[in-house]
Structure 1
Amino acid sequence: MHEIQDPLFKPFALGGLELPNRIVMPPMTRSRASQPGDVPNELMAEYYAQRASAGLIISEGTWISPLGKGYAWTPGIHSPAQVAGWRKVTGAVHAAGGRIFAQLWHVGRLSHTRLLDGRSPVSSSAIQATGVNVYVAERDGTPGFVQASTPRALATDEIPRVVDEFRQAARNAMAAGFDGVELHAANGYLVNQFIDSNANDRTDAYGGSLENRLRFLGEVANALVEGTGDKGRVGIRLAPLTTLNGCSDDHPEITYIAAARLLGEIGVAYVHIAEADWEDAPHMPVEFKQQLRAAFPGALIYAGKYTAERARAALEAGWADLIAFGRPFVANPDLPERLRIGAPLNAHDRATLFGGAAHGLTDYPTLAGSAA
C-alpha cells in the first residue's frame, strides 16, 4: 500500500475512531438554533454534513442546562427536543461519512439575567467579567450586546449537581448519536473560571491551591467518562495563555501542565489546545507545547490561525497530532480537499457569523460548485 506522505492526510486512531486525516473542524458558535427551545435543526444538519470530510468535527458549544446558556440562539443538549434535533445533525454527518463530537458548554458568569429568566449567572466566585459583553435577542429578532451580569458563587454543596448535569449531558450526547464529547474548559467559561487563579477566590476545596482549582475539572472529566461509558470518547479543550472573557492565571505554564497531567491520569482521548489568535496575542512557546506533550499521553489538537504550512510543520515536529482550522471551515465546506491540492480559500463574511438563516452558513461554494 502506498504510504501517504502529506502529514495532514495520514490517518489517525483517536480512541475507537479511525480518522482519515488530521484536519479538525473546531467548535464555532453560529447561533442558528430553532426557537423556541434552542433546538438543533435541518439547516444545522446540512451545515455540518457539508463539512464531513474533516477528520473530526467538534460541534459548536452546546449548553448542558438552562443556567449554562450565555448567548442567544445557541443550541442546548438538555431537553428531549434538543436531543432529537441533534440526532438529525449526527445522522446527516454520519451519512456523509463523517465523525462528530459534541462540545459540552456551561458558560458560568458569561451570561445575563435576560437569558436566564431573571436568575443570576453562577461561577466559581462572585467576580463579574467586567467589560465582557454577551448577546441577547432583541424584540425585533436582532442580537443586542449587553454587559455580562454579576454572578453568584456556587455553594460547595451545589457543585456536585453541576457535575451531574455534565454527566447527563454526556449521556444525552450519546443518545443523540454523537461519537464522543468535548468539555469546553477554555476561553473563560465555567470550568476555566475554576482553573484560573484570577477568576477563583474560593476558600473551600475548589479554590486556593492549584490542586483545589483543578478539582472541578477532574470531577467533570470523570463524569463525562461515566456518561459516555468510554474514555476514548472524551476530549477536553483548554486555553493556557488566552485571556478571553476576563480569565487569566498567574502561572499558566505550571497550571496547565498540571491540568494536562491530571487529564492523562484520567485517560481522556485528547486535549484540544486553543492558542490565542488575535493581534498582539501572547505567543505560546514551542517549549511549552513540548512540556504538554510530555505531560499528556493522549492525542493533542492545536487550534489558532494555522495555515496548511504551519499545520504540517507542527505535525512533523511531533508536539501536535491533529490541527483544527476554525474560520477557514466557515467559508470552505470542502476545506480538506482545498488544503490537499493547495487551492485558494473562500473568505468568510463576518456579518453572517452569528444568527440568520442559510446565507453565510450553507451557501459557501465548494471547488466543484465554483467550477460548475
Structure 2
Amino acid sequence: MTTALKRHDAASFRRLTAGARRFVEPALDDEQSARLQGLFGRPLGADEAVRLIVDDVRRRGDIALRDWTRRIDGVEVEHLHAGPAEMAHAWSITDLELRAALTTAAARIRGFHALQRDTAVRGTGALGLRPVPLRRAGCYVPGGRAAYPSTVLMNVIPAQVAGVDSVIVATPPGPDGRAHPAVLAAAQLLGVAEVAVMGGAQAIAALAYGTESVRAVDTIVGPGNLFVTLAKRAVFGSVGIDGLAGPSEVIVVASEGADPRMVAADLVSQLEHDPLAWAVCVTDSAELAGRVEEAFVPAAESAVRHGIIAAAAGRHGMTVVCADLEEALALVDDFAPEHLELQGAAAEALASRVRTAGAIFVGEDSPVPMGDYIAGPNHTLPTGGAARFKGPLSV
C-alpha cells in the first residue's frame, strides 16, 4: 500500500469536506457485519444493534449487562466493581516512572481546570443564576487489551473540581475479566471510589438507566468506539453526554519557516490513531507543501502502525495550498478541527484569530501529544466539526 499525501487547492478541499463535517455513522466492514450477524442471528446495522443492547440492559439490568459482556467480550466478570484492595494493589505495582508521570499530569490538569470553576451567583435583586454541580457523573474509559490512564485523569478531574457528589468510572474487562491495572492505578491516585468493570454499549446503558449493581448517573463523558458513541446518542435525553466522538483529526497550518519534518511527524501521529483519522497540512507555499509530502513518506513507512497510517492517509491525509494565510484561516474555521497546530513564522500572529478549533497548539515545540497527556487542558475534544459550537470537556 502506497503511503502519500494528496494535494488539494482551497476550492477542491472545500468541495471534499462540504457536508462531511458532522457526525456520520460509518459503514461497517465485512468482518464487523459478520460479527453482528453472529451475535443477533440476522443482518443489522450498528445503530440497531446498539439500541437492542441498550434496551435489553434497561429492562433486565445486571443479567443483561453480564450476558452482553460474555457474548461480546468473551469473558466472565466475577465482580462488576473493582474493590478498594484491588485498586490499592494496582497502584502499588505501577512502575515508579508511570506513577510520577500520572501524579504530575494530574496536578497540571487539576490546576488548569480549577481556573474554570465558577461559584458566583449572578443577578439583580430577587433574581439570580447560581452554578450548582451535578450529583453524579459517569466517566467511560476505553480499555480491554489496552490501557488509557490519561483518560481517567481527563474525565474524572473536571468532575471533582466542579464538586460533583459522586463519580463512577466504567472500563471494559481484559481477557482475565478484570479492569486494566493502569486504569485502576489512575483511579486510585484520584481517590475514585467506584470503578465498574463493564464496557461497550451495555456499560453506557447501565450508567444511563442504572442496574442492581450500578446507580444511574446524570451525565456520561469519555471517548469510546463506534458502539459506545452510538449508545451515548441513544441514551441522550435520559442523561447528558459530552458529545459524539468521531475519528481523531488535526490540521497543521504551516507558514514560512515551518520545518517540514516536524509537520510530517505530527500528521503521522494523528493518522496512526484510526483508519478514518484526518491529517491535513494547510499552507500558502506550494514549495513547503512539496517538502512536507516528501518528508511524510519515510516517516509514515517507518512507523510501527504503518498499515493504519497508510489506510488513513489514503482517505484523509493531504496538503492544501492556499492563496494566502487569510484563506488558510478561513478553511480552518470552516473545518473546525479537533486539533489545530500553527507552525512557522506566522504561528503566534495567527493564534488569536482562530475562531473554531477544539485545541490550538502554537509553534513546533507544542505537539498534540503534549495536550493529550501533560499540558493541563482537556484532551476530550469536539470532532467532526463540532468545534463550531462546543469546546473541550470542562468544569
TM-score by length of 2: 0.27
Larger radius of gyration: 2
More helix by share: 2
Report the TM-score when normalising by structure 1.
Answer: 0.28
Q: Which has the higher contact order (CA 8 A, sep 6+)?
A: 2
